[in-house]
Amino acid sequence: MTTPPPPFDPELAAALLELGDAAPTTATPESIPMAREQVGALVALMTNEELSCGGLFDVQERAVPGPPGAPDVSLLICRPTSVPGPRPIVYFTHPGGMVVGTNRLGLPLDWAEELGLVVVSVEYRLAPEHPHPAPVEDCYAGLLWTAAHAEEIGGDPDRVILAGGSAGGGLAAALALLARDRQGPRPIGQLLMCPMLDDRNDTVSAHQMAGLGVWDRTANETGWNALLGEARGTADVSPYAAPARAADLSDLPPAFIDVGSAETFRDEDVTYASRIWQAGGSAELHVWPGGFHGFDGLVPQAALSVDARAARLGWLRRLLGE
């Protein structure tokens, strides 16, 4: 029997009511085109001039070689103009449930401004038109280019941090696994914000939050079905698609994982952190009480959102020793 859901933080609950359709609870395959239109309208406002934040960043887009036999990959590069290089690099994989979004969505420019980081955000092909492994292979190809050309973009090849939220958090976790297993670039950390890790979609939190909050169990099924098709939920799913499937979580870069207590991904994210510890690794875990999926982006002024952003920044400071 499904247990009652945990309560939303009161401030967030009030904001969620006000947001209404701007923060949809669920998603279906039929809703993907409209969601893409809405996100497209949002990112259209994020011009290079807007992203430069009044000259704080030099912003450019580069087309780099994609996976073998696939199109080039677009990287959005935001380099701080007031801090001499080489600077640490945040390699960012955007959110969007694997079905929407671009490399201009969710950019962590607040970290970059505070710590003088280069941000490289990758444009990956979206499901269902491009199922696994297209998205993660695009991200890996971009990571290879970034590591090889770090100095060219003002970055330090020995200080690359993987970061992403939601679907992008799952892709960042998958990149950490791929880089380890292919003996590729060695990131110094992985910052996973409410990451989408487990295609099985059958945890207690997934059932508790069905029909509630943001990105419920039906929405999650929509995203995973788009990425994996009939393979979803079977023994054939690769850990590079769903990192929760990885049998071995040893020898990974230190992880920061955070998630709301009132969201679908809570239990899979807590389990992933626990398994990193069990494998002898380093992970910092935050479960924000009463947080729904993506709460800090949707309600940035809320007290809980302020705390969440501060915790990420604090972890980055410690990781970089700055």
Q: Is 278 helix (H, G, I), strand (E, B) or coil?
A: helix
- Cα–Cα distance for residue pair 225/233, rounded to 1 Å: 9
Tell which residue, 199, 208, 270, has the closest CA to residue 233. Answer: 199
The sign of the dihedral angle between the CA atoms of 274, 202, 224, 262 is negative
**How far is residue 35's CA from residue 288's CA, in Å, rounded to a whole number?**
27
Q: Which of 113, 97, 95, 115 is nearest to 105 (CA)?
A: 95
Query: Is 221 strand, coil or helix?
Result: helix
Backbone phi and psi for residue 20, each to the nearest 5 degrees, phi listed first: 55, -125
Q: For 274, left (φ over 0), alpha (ψ -120 to 50), or beta?
A: alpha
pLDDT of residue 1: 59
3-state class (DSSP) for residue 290: coil
Q: How far is 12 from 214, CA to CA, in rounded Å?
A: 12
pTM: 0.98
User: What pLDDT is stored for residue 199 in this prediction?
Assistant: 98
Residue 58 near residue 83, CB atoms below 8 Å: no
Residuewise pLDDT in 10s, the chain (322 residues): 579 999 999 999 999 999 998 899 999 999 999 999 999 998 888 999 999 999 999 999 999 999 999 999 999 999 999 998 799 999 999 999 999 999 999 999 999 999 999 999 999 999 999 999 999 999 999 999 999 999 999 999 999 999 999 999 999 999 999 999 999 999 999 999 999 999 999 999 999 999 999 999 999 999 999 999 999 999 999 999 999 999 999 999 999 999 999 999 999 999 999 999 999 999 999 999 999 999 999 999 999 999 999 999 999 999 999 7
Beta bridge partners of 78: 59, 119
CB distance 118 to 81 below 8 Å: no
Q: What is the pLDDT of residue 322?
A: 78
Helices (H) and strands (E) in the chain, counts: 11, 8
Strands 73-80 and 57-64: antiparallel
Say if residue 53 is exposed, middle or buried (CB neighbours under 10 Å; 0-12, 13-18, 19+): middle
Distance (Å, rounded) from C-alpha 322 to C-alpha 317?
5
